[in-house]
Structure 1
Amino acid sequence: MATASPAPSHRRSLRKRRTVVITAAAAVAGVGAGFLVLNANAASTSVDLYHQTLAAKDGWASSGTGTTGGTKADAAHTFTVSTRAQLVKALGSASDTTPRIIKVKGTIDANTDDSGKKLTCANYAAGTGYSLSTYLKAFDPATYGTSKLPSGTQETARAAAQAAQAKNIVFKVPANTTIVGVPGTKAGITGGSLQVKSVDNVIVRNLTFAATEDCFPQWDPTDGDTGNWNSQYDAVTLRGATHVWADHNSFTDAPGLDTADPTYYGRQYQIHDGDLDITNGSDLVTVERNQFTNHDKTMLIGSSDTDSVGKLRVSIHHNVWKGVVQRAPLARIGQIHIYNNYYDTTTLNGYVLQYSVNSRAKAQVVAEDNYWKTSASQKLSKLFSGDGTGSIAGTGNLVNGTATDLVAAYNAANSKKLKTTVNWTPTLTAGLETSAKNLPTELATTTGAGVLN
């Protein structure tokens, strides 16, 4: 069994990454005149932001053929988009593997029609027969019971309304695609969901994903002891995707925070799902220098305890997690490397931590050189979680600046122990800093959308 730490040759300290912008006086072949960006993230140091590729050994997404996205796109497949309709057109068919680069300029509101008119939940429900008040009356546990999922006229109507919203806000990303926010334009997608499904080689960078909301959550009385409302739509969802690089993005529920949600049947009417979920046998993914704030179920790796053995290999590094309730990440089955992340677990805008990292279904997690900021009341045993089958190895983790064995803290307080060894040794570790002490200040200015030039 492998020990917690990577081989010494792979534990390299890297100074704070810097983006160097150089004014180009002449055109560069395949790129054109303008600004050239030198960035430690990128394999290419003399191309613009839109043509950058993932650096060698930068996490699992650099494995094999690496991740190059749409860097080979020709002029006919290079787009600048500012509206939902333009984004849909630029994405084209999900089955078209032609390399493409999509530059997002400004904020795109997914809840708009092709003419740019704002759409509401009422628009999606129109003609379906769905009514929340009627739905609540139909499936009230006091009369409907708690042993089966809703079925019948109102559930059929709810599903139809949800399908209408999905048709408008889910954007299907084809293979060999780079989607990048144009610097200085507050680039992002509000209310939308990027779906990367059964495709290879995708890059998503420099975008703010906000307020991805389901108008029509489903009531499930069998979920947990008292039932739950379950919603659809992750801000970014990977399903059977391979070679995906998510870099310098920001994820948030704002402005629609969970504290604004009503309560029905004694449970929160949850309109948010995941921020960035990696499921259904997705593999070879690198998630770096993103910010995850104001969210509950943040990142799910593996859709079930029997998802895909031999896949779900994910690297998560140099991200900020703040105001996150859980799943940072929740990992199943795969080989997950979590390093140099900053977790601020103090309560923010009503989001109260349940746990940070959950290893279950025999997941093989290496969590090293991360930094946790906690309040005085935060129990160290609550920072990790597991089901008794998952492993978390790793050293160098700090809590409020002090080296802390978080697995030992968890195991001392729980009967279902986390295993302390894993069956693999990380080697794709470019950028690994062997000291976490400077992460809170370093990552404050080098993560999230709007940093890259």
Structure 2
Amino acid sequence: MRRPVALRLCATLATAALAATTGVLVAMPSASAAATGSATGYATQNGGTTGGAGGQTVRATTGTAIHAALCGRASASTPIVIEVEGTINHANTDKVSGASCNTAAGVIELKQISNVTLVGVGSGAVFDQLGIHIRESSNIIIQNVTVKNVKKSGSPISNGGDAIGMETNVRNVWVDHASLEASGGESAGFDGLFDMKDNTQYVTLSYSTLRNSGRGGLIGSSETELSNSFITFHHNLYENIDSRAPLLRGGTAHIYNNYYVKLNESGINSRAGAHAKVDNNYFKDSKDVLGTFYTSAAGYWQVAGNIFDNVTWSSPGTDNNPAGPDVKSTATVSVPYSFSLDAATCVPDVVTQTAGANKGLKVSNGTCTPQTPSPTPTTPTSSPTTTPTSSPTSTPTQPGGTNLSIGAGADGSSKAAGTSYGNVKDGNLSTFWSPAGATGSVSVKWSSPTAVAGLNIREAAGSAGSIGSWRVLNGDTGAVLTSGSGAGAITVPRTSLSKITFEITSSTGTPKVAEFETYAG
């Protein structure tokens, strides 16, 4: 990565004082890259993930400086690149206040913000016993950092014991070339290395190491918390992990070209209807590397090209369904983006050379040969957005035929008190679903793929016109089928899917969806 040739302190006394007290050096926008390379996997969807590209670049050597950089922006969405060097710990991480931030002491708090890159530079960035917490935020890049020994009990504690944790309406996060480490399991005070819960979507973890932990990471905090989805894991090293590599409750994950060594109890744990696409991974000296474990709520997987080297399997039971020893697909899982697969035979070598912080940010393009990527331009070619990507060119006619939603299942991102997801498919216009806030999503789902070409969104009495912009998503892949504004009939490309999602991205008043009707034509 190119560095600014010189750092110019702003001429104001306030900025000088900031540098003196917090350890942040402020640089004017420069030609330095926001991050090396560009996002991959599901982080490329939903508008993409570019972090702070195009914004000001600052250098921070303390946790307080990171918070000060966030709080010094014009708004909570003003792009910023924070280059971090040195050791960040409890002693140098204080709360900083401001209109563009919401920080706390003892944790790196990326809360209620967007368009931020946090990248390790120089001699490296080490977050020592200090976690990174992402909450109610979007378009975040974390690259080339080490996060180690974060505790949830004992002393000191940080971020609930997670090295990197995401929760509550998080969208578009790319974590790349990170080293995430613990020194034991829950009994020693540690929790997960990479956790996602409470409606976290469109996340990629790439070229990272996860080591020496009882828990690699989870997606979804319970069997009923199924709002998390569209996560990609590729070219990561999981080493000496007891379980959760990852634990997936509901949703869709793409897991490819990862190197697993010494998974002690279980590995990829697909549960509660989750779908995992598992391609060209290398599993070595491990136990129960894929299946549904510790629950009777089944999950599913599609497998291809994986190598199982000295892997042992337990016997099936009521709450234990290992995929092996005869590993076969139990579902078909598609993804909406392109990717290049390294052969599983070379995964140990490629991942060992590329994964983790301070490895030169090397990547592979499917040729089994590590290479250094070109820097990403500061000015992004497109900005992430939740604004609809297209609008119907004409008003669709009311669809006819059988309403496929009747008798189907339903779930969503959140629901207001007194409302239910099931109300949108009960045929009763007097019951309805509302999100917990001004935006949110509700889905209709089936036990097997169902062809859908038309929808009808019916608002509850007294709420007409409250729905603003929206998107319709293929719930299996995360692909946007169409978008627009206002309730009523909607035409989508005829698609065979098991789940379809109506996502409200803006509203006036309180949106109330009485019926989410689906039709084959």
TM-score of Structure 1 vs Structure 2, range by shorter chain: 0.5 to 0.7
Question: Which of 170, 173, 176 is the matching residue for 1:244?
Answer: 173
Rounded to whole Å, the distance in 2 between the matches of 1:394 and 1:283 is: 22
Deviation at 1:251, TM superposition (A): 0.6
Confirm or deny: 8 A CA contact 1:231 1:270 kept in the other structure: no
Residue 65 in structure 1 maps to residue 3 in structure 2? no
Encode CA deviations 1:252-280: one digit per residue, 9 max, x unaligned.
12xxx238xxxxxxxx7431111110111
Encode CA deviations 1:28-54: one digit per residue, 9 max, x unaligned.
x9643xxxxxxxxxxxxxxx4434463
Residue 88 in structure 1 maps to residue 16 in structure 2? no
Aligned to 2:234: 317
Confirm or deny: 8 A CA contact 1:180 1:205 kept in the other structure: yes
Aligned to 2:335: 426
Pair 450,422 (structure 1): closer, same or farther in 2 beyond 3 Å: same
Question: Which of 263, 267, 273 is the matching residue for 1:356?
Answer: 267
Aligned residues: percent identity? Answer: 28
Question: Could you tell which deviates more after superposition, 193-202 or 381-390?
Answer: 381-390
Confirm or deny: 8 A CA contact 2:125 2:146 kept in the other structure: yes
Aligned to 2:256: 339
Aligned to 2:202: 284
SS in 2 for 1:286: strand
Pair 211,249 (structure 1): closer, same or farther in 2 beyond 3 Å: same
Residue 442 in structure 1 maps to residue 338 in structure 2? no
Aligned to 1:109: 89
Map 1:127-166; keep pairs closer than 5 Å: none
Deviation at 1:383, TM superposition (A): 4.9
Q: TM-score, normalised by structure 2?
A: 0.56
Q: Residue 80 of structure 2 aligns to which amino acid in structure 1?
A: R
Deviation at 1:423, TM superposition (A): 5.3
Rounded to whole Å, the distance in 2 between the matches of 1:204 and 1:238 is: 12
| Bigger-Rg structure (1/2) | 2
Q: TM-score, normalised by structure 1?
A: 0.63
Rounded to whole Å, the distance in 2 between the matches of 1:397 and 1:382 is: 11
SS in 1 for 2:173: strand
Rounded to whole Å, the distance in 2 between the matches of 1:331 and 1:79 is: 36
Pair 107,73 (structure 1): closer, same or farther in 2 beyond 3 Å: same
Aligned to 2:276: 365
Encode CA deviations 1:96-120: one digit per residue, 9 max, x unaligned.
11111110012212344659xxxxx
SS in 2 for 1:445: helix
Question: Which of 72, 76, 80 is the matching residue for 1:100?
Answer: 80
Q: Residue 443 of structure 1 aligns to which amino acid in structure 2?
A: V
Rounded to whole Å, the distance in 1 between the matches of 2:308 and 2:35 is: 38
Rounded to whole Å, the distance in 1 between the matches of 2:339 and 2:303 is: 17
Pair 113,178 (structure 1): closer, same or farther in 2 beyond 3 Å: closer
Aligned to 1:152: none
Q: Residue 421 of structure 1 aligns to which amino acid in structure 2?
A: T
Q: Residue 341 of structure 2 aligns to which amino acid in structure 1?
A: L
Deviation at 1:186, TM superposition (A): 2.4
Confirm or deny: 8 A CA contact 1:355 1:385 kept in the other structure: no
**What is the count of residue pairs matched by the alignment?**
319
Aligned to 1:258: 184
Rounded to whole Å, the distance in 1 between the matches of 2:281 and 2:332 is: 21
Map 1:9-48; keep pairs closer than 5 Å: 31-32=30-31, 48=32
Deviation at 1:205, TM superposition (A): 0.3
Rounded to whole Å, the distance in 2 between the matches of 1:198 and 1:354 is: 33
Residue 327 in structure 1 maps to residue 244 in structure 2? yes
Residue 233 in structure 1 maps to residue 161 in structure 2? yes
Confirm or deny: 8 A CA contact 2:251 2:274 kept in the other structure: yes
Map 1:193-212; keep pairs closer than 5 Å: 193-212=131-150
Deviation at 1:325, TM superposition (A): 1.0
Deviation at 1:297, TM superposition (A): 1.2
Encode CA deviations 1:317-354: one digit per residue, 9 max, x unaligned.
110001111111000111011110000117xxxxxx11
SS in 2 for 1:98: coil
Rounded to whole Å, the distance in 2 between the matches of 1:62 and 1:445 is: 24
Residue 413 in structure 1 maps to residue 316 in structure 2? yes
SS in 1 for 2:340: coil
Q: Residue 85 of structure 1 aligns to which amino acid in structure 2?
A: T
SS in 2 for 1:444: helix
Runs of 4 or more off by more than 6 Å in structure 1? 21-25
Q: Residue 38 of structure 2 aligns to which amino acid in structure 1?
A: L
Question: Which of 173, 177, 187 is the matching residue for 2:116?
Answer: 177
Aligned to 2:405: none
Confirm or deny: 8 A CA contact 1:54 1:66 kept in the other structure: no
Pair 442,199 (structure 1): closer, same or farther in 2 beyond 3 Å: same
Encode CA deviations 1:408-434: one digit per residue, 9 max, x unaligned.
x66x6344546843353124242322x
Confirm or deny: 8 A CA contact 1:111 1:191 kept in the other structure: no
For structure 1, which runs of at least 5 residues remain unmatched after alignment?
A: 1-20, 33-47, 116-164, 218-229, 260-267, 347-352
Aligned to 1:213: 151
Pair 166,191 (structure 1): closer, same or farther in 2 beyond 3 Å: farther
Confirm or deny: 8 A CA contact 2:282 2:306 kept in the other structure: yes
Structure number with the higher strand fraction is 2
Aligned to 2:504: none
Deviation at 1:216, TM superposition (A): 4.6
Rounded to whole Å, the distance in 1 between the matches of 2:333 and 2:290 is: 23
Pair 273,198 (structure 1): closer, same or farther in 2 beyond 3 Å: same
Aligned to 1:397: 306
Deviation at 1:185, TM superposition (A): 0.9
Structure number with the higher helix fraction is 1
Q: Residue 372 of structure 1 aligns to which amino acid in structure 2?
A: F
Pair 286,248 (structure 1): closer, same or farther in 2 beyond 3 Å: same
Rounded to whole Å, the distance in 1 between the matches of 2:93 and 2:43 is: 35
SS in 2 for 1:106: strand
Cα RMSD over matched residues?
3.3
Q: Residue 244 of structure 1 aligns to which amino acid in structure 2?
A: V
Encode CA deviations 1:68-102: one digit per residue, 9 max, x unaligned.
0000213xxx2101112212212328971111111
Confirm or deny: 8 A CA contact 1:295 1:323 kept in the other structure: yes
Rounded to whole Å, the distance in 1 between the matches of 2:89 and 2:321 is: 45
Deviation at 1:194, TM superposition (A): 1.2
SS in 2 for 1:443: helix
